[in-house]
Chain A
Amino acid sequence: MKRLPRADPEVLLPVTALGVTVIAFLLIPTYTDSTVATFDVYNTLQIFARLGPLALALGLTMIAGEFDLSVVGTYALGGMLTVQVGQEHFAYGVLAAVGAGAAIGLVQGCVIAGLRIPSMPVTLATYIALLGLTSALSGGLTKTYSNVTVILWVDQTVLTFFSPRSLITLGLFVLVALVLGLSRWGRELRAIGADRRASRVAGVRVDRLLVGTFVTSGVLAGLGGSLLSLSLGSANPDPGVQPLILAAAAALLGGVSLAGGRGSPLGLLAGILAVALLAEIATLAALPAYVTQLFYAGLLGIIVVVDAPDLHKGLVRLRTRLRPEPGSPRPIPESRETP
C-alpha cells in the first residue's frame, strides 16, 4: 500500500499539521482584527503546557497499542490532590498528585499486563471511578488554592515566550524523547504496539514495559493536572471531555496510530503544538464556544475516520475494481491484533 516508504504518516502528519497551523497562525492579521504579538506565542505555549502532559501520556500508551482513557480521571484527581494536600506547601500537593498517578498506573498496568485484558474497558472503569473519587474528595465543588506566590510563579514570563509551566512541559518531552531515543525502550514500545506476540517471542519483556508505560502515563497525567491547578489556582472535579478530545486529536495529529506501533515523542510534540496553535487561533478569532467545540469534534472525527483500517482496504478494493490489473496480488488482509 505504501508507494513512498519514507513518506510514512509518522513523519508526514506531524510536519504537515505543524506547518499548516504555523502558517495559519502567522496569517492571523489577514483574517482577524488582531495582530500576532509575542503574548500570543506565550499564550500558545501556555495552552501547550495545559495539554502537553495529557497528550504525551495518552500518546505513549497509544504507541504501545493501548488506549489509556483514565488519563483524564488521573488529571482531575491530580489537580484536586494538589489543591487539597498542597495548601501548606505546594511540593506536598505535587508529590501527592504524582504519587497517586504512579499508583493508579501501576495497578492498571499490572491488571492489563498480568491478566492480558484489553486496556480500554479497564481504563474506562478507572476513569469512571476516578471522576467519582475526585468528586467525593471535593464534595462535587471547585476548590481554590490559596498560595498566591506559587500561582504567580508558575505562570510568570520567562525569556519573553515561556513560563516555568511551559518549560517544565517541554522538559518532560525532552526527557521522554531522550529516554526512548537512547535506550531500547523506544524501539520495544513500538514493537509491542505493532505486534505484541512477535515482540514477546523476540525477547521483549512485554509485561514490564506495559506496566512501565502505564505508570509513566499516570505520572504524566497526575503532574499535568497538578500544574493546571497551580496555574488556575483552583481544581475542578469534572474536567469534562474537552481535555480528552484535544489530547487524542493531538496524539493522532502527532503521527500516532490507534492501531499502535507508530509514533515518537517528537511527533507528539509537533501534534500538540499544532493543536495549541489551533486553540490560540480560535481564541484570537473570538469564535463562539460552541463553534470551537464543533471544530475540535470535527477535527478529531476526521482524523479517526482517516485512521480507520477498513477505509483503506475499502478504497483499495474500490480502486482495483475500477481498473482491474491482471495478475495484481490481492490485498493482504492485515493480521489481527493479538492482545
Chain B
Amino acid sequence: MNVTAAPSAPSVLRRRRQRTRNELVVDVVVVVAVLAVLVIGLTTDRFVTVANAKAIVTSASLVGIAALGLTLIMIGGSAVSLAISPTVAAVGMVFLSAQSLGLVPALAMAIVFGALITGVQGAVVGYAAANPVVLTIAASFAIAGLAAGITGGVSVSPSGLGYDRLNATPGGVPLSVFVLLLLTLAVEWTLRRTGFGRSLYLVGENRPAAQAAGLPVGRTTTVAWLGAGALFAVTAAFTAAFNTSANVNLGGTLTFDAIAAVLAGGTPISGGRGSALRTLAGAVLIAAVSDILLLRGYSTGVQVLVKGLIVLLVVIVVHVLARGRHA
C-alpha cells in the first residue's frame, strides 16, 4: 500500500529469488501432474495408440485455443468469463451462415463478431471495474437468449462448403492443432515482448497501482478481452466446422473446460501471472484426463467432477505457493 517506502535492495532480491523459486515449483507441480497422468494413461487400455493421441490433441486444441483467450482475461486480473460457451455457439452460427461469402470472409466476420461481443464486456470490466463473474453470467444469458430468439431454436446449417477446409488433417494431424501451437506462440510473444503484454501483467498484478502509475487500465483490459473474443471465435469456427451445424448447445461444457485448462496450467485467478505455454500444458492435461476417464468407461458427470476437483486442487496449491511471496 505504502508507495513511498521503497523496499531495501536485499529484500527485493530475496523476493525476486523467492518468486522465481515459486514459479519453478508451480512448473514442477504441473510437470509432475502431466507425468502422473501419463503413467495412469500407460496402464489404461488403448491409451497408447496413435488414434487416441490424435483424439487427445484434437480435443486439447479446441479447448486450448479458447483457453488462450481466457488466459489473457485472467492475467489482466479480470478473473474469468463465464460466457465462453454461448459466445462460441453464437459465433459458430455466424460463421456457418456466412459461408456463402467464402471461407476467409466468413472467418473474418466470425472473429470480428466474437471480438466485439466479448470486447464490450471487457470495456465494462476495464473502465467501470464491474464484477467480471456476474457480468459474464448476465452476458451468457443474454447471448444465449438472443441466439435462441434469432434462430428460433433451430440449428444453423452452413450456407456453403468452404468451412470443410478447417477439417483438413495435414500430415494426419488436425489443422486446429497447428493453429493452437501457432496461436500459443503468438500469444506468448505478445505477452512477453509487447508493451500491451507488460501493461496487462501490471494491471492484473495491482489495478490501483497501475491506475496510479498512469497506465491505460481500461484500454488494456478492453484489448485483452477483444483478443480473448477473437480466440473464442477461432475455437467456434473449428467447432462449427467439425459439427457442420451450430445450435445454442454448440459450446457444450467449453466454459468449464477452458477455465479448468487455464487454472490447471498454474495461472492464478487473481491475475498478474501466467503464460500461454502453461495454458497449453493445462489444456493437454485436462484433455488427457478426460480421455483416460472416457477410456475407463466413466460417465460425463464423473469427467466434470474430476475436472472440478483438479481445478480446486491447483487453485489451492498455486495460492499457498504464491502466499509465501506476499507474506
Q: Chain A residues with Cβ under 8 A from B259's Cβ? A: 124, 128
Any A CB within 8 A of the CB of B157: no
Could you say which of B54-62, B124-132, B178-186, B190-198 contacts chain A? Answer: B124-132
> Within 8 Å of chain B (Cβ to Cβ): is A314?
yes
The answer on a CB contact under 8 Å between A125 and B315 is yes
The segment from A39-47, A158-166, A242-250 that touches chain B is: A242-250
A115 contacts B80, C-beta separation under 8 Å:
no
Q: Judging by beta carbons under 8 Å apart, are B128 and A291 in contact?
A: no
Q: Which residue of A lies closest to B85 (CB)?
A: A241
Return the chain A residue nearest B218 by Cβ.
A310
| Known A128-B260, A308-B130, A311-B129; contact A139-B315, beta-carbon cutoff 8 A | no
Is A294's CB under 8 angstroms from B145's CB? yes
Q: Among the listed stretches B7-15, B92-100, B235-243, B294-302, which one makes contact with chain A, having 4 or more residues with CB under 8 Å of it?
A: B294-302
**Which of A122, A128, A242 touches B141 (beta carbons < 8 Å)?**
A242
Contacts of A309 in B (CB 8 A): 128-129
Return the CB mask of A294-328 against B: 1 if under 8 Å, else 0: 10111011001101111100100000000000000
**A289, A293, A296, A333: most-surrounded residue (chain B CB, <10 A):** A293
A208 interface residue, CB < 8 Å from B? no
Cβ of B1 under 8 Å from chain A? yes
Contacts of B145 in A (CB 8 A): 290-291, 293-294, 297
A123-139 contacts to B, CB under 8 A, are 124-139
Which chain A residues border B129 with CB–CB below 8 Å?
308-311
As a 0/1 sequence over residues 88 to 126 of chain A, the CB contacts with chain B under 8 angstroms (1 = contact) are 000000000000000000000001000111101110111
Report A249 CB to chain B, min CB distance, Å: 8
Tell whether A132 pairs with B307 under 8 Å between CB atoms, given A121-B263, A304-B138, A307-B130: yes
| Residue B168 is within 8 A (CB to CB) of chain A in the complex | no
Given A241-B137, A304-B135 in contact, is the A129-B312 Cβ separation under 8 Å?
A: yes
Residues of A within 8 A of B270 (CB): 118
Chain A residues positioned under 8 Å from B269 (CB to CB): 118, 120-121, 124
Q: Which residues of B302-321 have CB atoms within 8 Å of chain A's CB atoms?
A: 302-309, 311-312, 315-316, 319-320
Per DSSP, are chain B's interface residues mostly helix, strand or loop, or mixed? helix
Q: A258 in the interface, Cβ–Cβ < 8 Å?
A: yes
B208 CB-CB contact with A under 8 Å: yes
CB–CB B127/A310 < 8 A: yes
Assess the B144–A293 pair: CB atoms within 8 A.
Answer: yes
**Which residues in A have some Cβ–Cβ distance to B below 8 Å?**
67, 69, 111, 115-118, 120-122, 124-140, 237, 241-242, 244-245, 248, 252, 258, 288-291, 293-294, 296-298, 300-301, 304-305, 307-311, 314, 333, 336
Q: List 11 A-B contacts (CB under 8 A).
A: A115-B316, A120-B269, A125-B311, A128-B308, A128-B311, A132-B305, A245-B138, A301-B142, A307-B130, A311-B130, A314-B128
| 8 more A-B residue pairs beyond the given contacts A293-B148, A297-B142, with a C-beta to C-beta distance below 8 A | A117-B315, A128-B259, A131-B304, A132-B304, A136-B298, A241-B140, A291-B145, A293-B141
